[in-house]
Chain A
Amino acid sequence: MIVGYQLSDLQRETLAEVFNIAMGRAAKAMSNIVNEEVLLSIPQIRMVPRSEASSLLGGPEQRVYSITQTLDGEFHADAILILPQARSMDLVRLMLGSPQQLELVTELEREALTEIGNIILNACIGTVTNLLEGQFSISLPVLQSGLCGDIIESHAARQSEEDVVLLLQIDFTVEKHSINGHLAFVQTVSSFQALLARIDRFIEKAAQG
């Protein structure tokens, strides 16, 4: 790994905790919509160069849905929720309670998936922007479907520096139906270092009470 974007155990644990709190919030929001218990957890956090990300996401050939929101401000970052195509529509339909299952994925189902992604992404972005205490403009969610590799590639940060990906594994369960997805923050090394500095400050503040 390239020096400069490794996480210390304490940093990793702190990120895990703040993201898990965010997921609790997102799960509650969704649970209110569908009147079902929704479980969201983040079992793993990693930091990888962008070139390695897709292989960690089940391989570049894996067919996925992605929902992306872009942060612009002090720095640029793409927050991407990546869900395996095979099972995520089952989950959406479960949440919609669709009476009749269709072969094709309808426009409204894609829209519902976009909203689910939006809820999860907003919770995570809120966490990150709170940590960073910066001002950002955040885009509306955009749904894409395609190969995992292509989607990651299309989100290269605009700066010429090499990008790093903060990769969170997400376990998403509704009514005993689970899918494993990923949340990827694609950002530049420098913006990532700013994030690390903020985490350290957060830990410091927590220690002071």
Chain B
Amino acid sequence: MTSSGPDPTIAFNSPPFSSLSSTLALGLIILEQDGRIVHWNDWVAKRSGIVADVALGKSLFDLWPETTQARIRFAIDQAITQGQPSLLSSSLNKYLLPLYEDPFRSDPVQIRQTVTISSFYMTARMCVLQIADVSAAFARESALRVQAQLLNESLERQAQIMKQLENHNDTLDSQVRKRTAQLNELAKHLQDVSEEEKTALARELHDDLGSILTAARIDVFSSAKLLAGSHPDIHAKLQRALRYLEEGIQTKRRIVEGMRPTILTQFGLAEALRYTAEEMAEVSGWTLRLTVEEDLPLSEELSLTLFRVAQEALNNAAKYSEAQCVEIILEADEHTVRLVIRDDGKGMELDAVHKPRSHGLAGMRSRVEARGGYFEIQGAPGRGVEISVSLALSQAE
């Protein structure tokens, strides 16, 4: 190099510059225009395993052949020929310079580094490489990424558990629903059985007991007639027996009627409700308000269920309500039939539903729910009681 300025090799390798450079916490390499090394500070020497005496005067690209084809070579050229500085980041450039934490170990660990390359003028353009060790930052960020990964995974796992719980809940729900349906089915079956038994019993009572009583009455009646003139004392006794028989027949009729409401099977629900309600209204002195749709397409079981509910509700009203007025509504739309029995009596605590020995309300509810219907009782002291029931017109099953 033919120039009038100071020899850079001397200038950069004698105090005060060299002493300053050796205190730096970063690597400092200075190159001449042709790539020859004119300064190599202690930081670099320590991490490259190459002492300054060996490095100085050599071309960087000969000393470290791996830099020849790399981006770092291009950046050095750009700095030297055009004065353009470059930043080579540690994350975009994985392995920049062969610098190690401990270069003499058998498996040395390469330092993560950020290299800045710039130029300045002395006798000619000189190139400066500054090398910062960012291994610590790199480790920190890797740890951060691992943490983030763990966090994500645990969030995912949590979400999974939540989902499992939800699924489990759904299963439980559906089991409860299935069991309830089974219980309802059972209750319905039991009721049907009991209704059937009642019907059979009623038929027996009607056919056997009824015909026996009737036959007895006919015989007693004709005997009484025959003995009327001759034996007035026997006649009187037979007359009394006739009254007893008559009472027996009436009792039988009432029992039969109660078990198998013929009025229901013969005239339909509307008529049966009207008849029953009027009868009880007369006894209890209620004003009746009836809004009852005629000729609803109700199956026999459905009619019976509704009738039994009405019967029990009216019975309760008669027994407890002291009502002035009782209202009955029977109505239906396309899918649902609705029955409401409402009184304006003294009302009740809804807790009364759970009285141990009262089966009326519970029976109503179970009848209705056994058919998949909806039962509601409303009432409060002083406000009367309202019972409402909705049932699907066509049975779901």
Q: Do A and B come from one complex?
A: yes
Q: Is B184 an interface residue (CB 8 A)?
A: no
Known: A102-B148, A111-B90, A122-B78. A140 touches B116 (CB 8 A): yes
The interface stretch among B29-37, B80-88, B189-197, B369-377 is B80-88
- Closest chain A residue, CB of each to CB of B118: A140
Tell whether, in the assembled complex, residue B92 and residue A140 are in contact, meaning their CB atoms are under 8 Å apart.
no
Q: Is B144 an interface residue (CB 8 A)?
A: yes
B352 to chain A, nearest CB (A): 61
Q: CB-CB contacts of B133-145 with A at 8 A, as 1s and 0s?
A: 0100110010011
- Closest chain B residue, CB of each to CB of A123: B84
Residues of A within 8 A of B86 (CB): 115, 118-119, 122
The interface stretch among A26-34, A46-54, A159-167 is A26-34
Tell whether, in the assembled complex, residue B92 and residue A34 are in contact, meaning their CB atoms are under 8 Å apart.
yes
Residues of A within 8 A of B71 (CB): 29, 32-33
Contact of B89 among A99, A100, A115, A137 (CB under 8 A): A115
Tell whether, in the assembled complex, residue B148 and residue A114 are in contact, meaning their CB atoms are under 8 Å apart.
no
Known: A112-B89, A115-B89. A100 touches B84 (CB 8 A): no
Contact of A140 among B82, B87, B137, B145 (CB under 8 A): B87
Tell whether, in the assembled complex, residue A108 and residue B149 are in contact, meaning their CB atoms are under 8 Å apart.
no
Known: A69-B85, A138-B83. A100 touches B91 (CB 8 A): no
A78 to chain B, nearest CB (A): 15
* A107 to B148 alpha-carbon distance, docked (Å): 16
Tell whether, in the assembled complex, residue B89 and residue A108 are in contact, meaning their CB atoms are under 8 Å apart.
yes
- Closest chain A residue, CB of each to CB of B112: A108
Q: Is B104 an interface residue (CB 8 A)?
A: no
Q: Is B114 an interface residue (CB 8 A)?
A: yes
* A102 to B138 alpha-carbon distance, docked (Å): 14
Known: A32-B71, A102-B144. A96 touches B92 (CB 8 A): yes
Tell whether, in the assembled complex, residue B82 and residue A108 are in contact, meaning their CB atoms are under 8 Å apart.
no
Q: Is B93 an interface residue (CB 8 A)?
A: yes
Tell whether, in the assembled complex, residue A100 and residue B148 are in contact, meaning their CB atoms are under 8 Å apart.
yes
Q: Is B320 an interface residue (CB 8 A)?
A: no
* A69 to B118 alpha-carbon distance, docked (Å): 12
Tell whether, in the assembled complex, residue A111 and residue B114 are in contact, meaning their CB atoms are under 8 Å apart.
yes
Q: Is A136 an interface residue (CB 8 A)?
A: yes
B334 to chain A, nearest CB (A): 57
Q: Is B61 an interface residue (CB 8 A)?
A: no
Residues of A within 8 A of B145 (CB): 98-100, 102
Residues of A within 8 A of B141 (CB): 106-108
Known: A102-B145, A106-B141, A108-B137. A139 touches B85 (CB 8 A): yes
Q: CB-CB contacts of A126-160 with B at 8 A, as 1s and 0s?
A: 10010000011111110000000000000000000
* A138 to B87 alpha-carbon distance, docked (Å): 13
Q: Is A109 an interface residue (CB 8 A)?
A: yes
Number of interface residues of A (CB under 8 A): 34
Residues of B within 8 A of A101 (CB): 148
* A70 to B114 alpha-carbon distance, docked (Å): 21
* A138 to B148 alpha-carbon distance, docked (Å): 39
Q: Is B74 an interface residue (CB 8 A)?
A: yes
Residues of B within 8 A of A112 (CB): 89, 91-92
Known: A29-B74, A102-B144, A140-B116. A111 touches B91 (CB 8 A): yes
Residues of B within 8 A of A99 (CB): 145, 149
Tell whether, in the assembled complex, residue A137 and residue B83 are in contact, meaning their CB atoms are under 8 Å apart.
yes
Tell whether, in the assembled complex, residue A129 and residue B118 are in contact, meaning their CB atoms are under 8 Å apart.
no
Q: CB-CB contacts of A74-99 with B at 8 A, as 1s and 0s?
A: 00000000000000000000011011
Q: Is A125 an interface residue (CB 8 A)?
A: yes
- Closest chain B residue, CB of each to CB of A136: B83
Q: CB-CB contacts of B93-131 with A at 8 A, as 1s and 0s?
A: 100000000000000000000101010100000000000
* A127 to B77 alpha-carbon distance, docked (Å): 16
- Closest chain B residue, CB of each to CB of A122: B84
Known: A99-B145, A100-B145, A100-B148. A125 touches B92 (CB 8 A): no
A97 to chain B, nearest CB (A): 10
* A167 to B114 alpha-carbon distance, docked (Å): 31
Residues of A within 8 A of B90 (CB): 108, 111
- Closest chain A residue, CB of each to CB of B151: A100
* A101 to B149 alpha-carbon distance, docked (Å): 9
B91 to chain A, nearest CB (A): 5
Tell whether, in the assembled complex, residue B84 and residue A33 are in contact, meaning their CB atoms are under 8 Å apart.
no
Tell whether, in the assembled complex, residue B93 and residue A108 are in contact, meaning their CB atoms are under 8 Å apart.
no
* A140 to B146 alpha-carbon distance, docked (Å): 33
* A95 to B137 alpha-carbon distance, docked (Å): 19
Known: A32-B71, A100-B145, A102-B148. A108 touches B83 (CB 8 A): no
Residues of A within 8 A of B (CB): 29, 32-34, 69, 95-96, 98-102, 106-109, 111-112, 114-116, 118-119, 122, 125-126, 129, 135-141
Considering the complex of A and B, which 9 residue pairs feature the smallest CB-CB distances, nearest first? A100-B145, A115-B89, A111-B89, A112-B89, A140-B85, A122-B84, A112-B91, A108-B91, A118-B87
Known: A100-B149, A115-B87, A141-B85; 4 extra A-B contacts, CB below 8 A, are: A32-B71, A69-B85, A118-B86, A122-B78
Residues of B within 8 A of A (CB): 71, 74, 78, 82-93, 114, 116, 118, 120, 134, 137-138, 141, 144-146, 148-149, 152
Could you jot down 16 A-B contacts, CB within 8 Å? A33-B92, A33-B93, A96-B91, A99-B149, A107-B141, A108-B89, A108-B90, A111-B89, A111-B90, A111-B114, A112-B89, A112-B92, A115-B87, A122-B84, A138-B84, A139-B85
